[in-house]
A = this chain, B = another copy of it.
């Protein structure tokens, strides 16, 4: 049995090489002009070689998106791993980690959330996305259990949190969080507003 299930013969490991090149291109080019031929060119193979590893361009993009969800999950998990944090602090840390991920990798983030309807068909991609989403759900559970968050329908809090973070991320990477519109530090400020609606008891008012 070979070392990995997908090890090409000639190149050594073209599949992974293509993925690495593509991820690097996504991270470098803000312009989101992603061509399969360019990926092949930079990997040093002919423009038709990728088709031996991915059915079409979309298949590669879906794999990139899947990896993106795994990476995002890792970033968020690490951000909220400190046990000394309160749930509220963990929430802010995870949200900020997600938005930072988007800002540092806008092409990949856009790709992850630009589904073509058939995303649900790719079960691996779907699973990766659900796993990352699960981090949020578990945090909300923890918050409701220890009384930090209000005991309302968790799906409502999940929808609100997710939309808030995703909205901030999308606006940030599209350079639409201009100071003239939303002030100097819109992201922490917006998260505080949301948390005031989710948290119990003392509504942690904005700092002066």
CB distance from A190 to the nearest CB of B (A): 4
Using an 8 Å CB-CB cutoff, how does the interface string of A162-194 with B read, 1 for contact, 0 for none? Answer: 111111101100111100011100110111111
Q: Of the candidates B115, B186, B195, which one forms a contact with A155 in the assembled complex, judged by CB atoms under 8 Å apart? A: B186
A197–B193 touching, CB < 8 Å: yes
User: Can you name 10 A-B residue pairings with CB atoms under 8 Å?
Assistant: A119-B175, A156-B192, A156-B193, A159-B190, A162-B171, A162-B182, A166-B167, A167-B170, A193-B197, A197-B203
Is B159 within 8 A of A186, CB to CB?
Answer: yes
| A196 sits at the interface (CB 8 A) | yes
A68 to chain B, nearest CB (A): 14
| Count, chain A residues at interface, CB 8 A | 52
A30 to B160, CA, bound (A): 25
Q: In whole Å, how far is A102's beta carbon from the nearest beta carbon of chain B?
A: 12
**Chain A interface (Cβ < 8 Å from any Cβ of B):** 30-31, 113-117, 119-120, 129-130, 133, 150, 152-153, 155-160, 162-168, 170-171, 174-177, 181-183, 186-187, 189-198, 203, 205-206
Contact assessment for B190 and A160 in the assembled complex, using a CB-CB cutoff below 8 Å: yes
> Knowing that A114-B174, A195-B197 are A-B contacts, what are 10 other residue pairs whose CB atoms are under 8 Å apart, sorted by A's residue number?
A113-B174, A152-B205, A156-B186, A156-B190, A156-B193, A159-B168, A159-B181, A167-B167, A167-B168, A196-B196
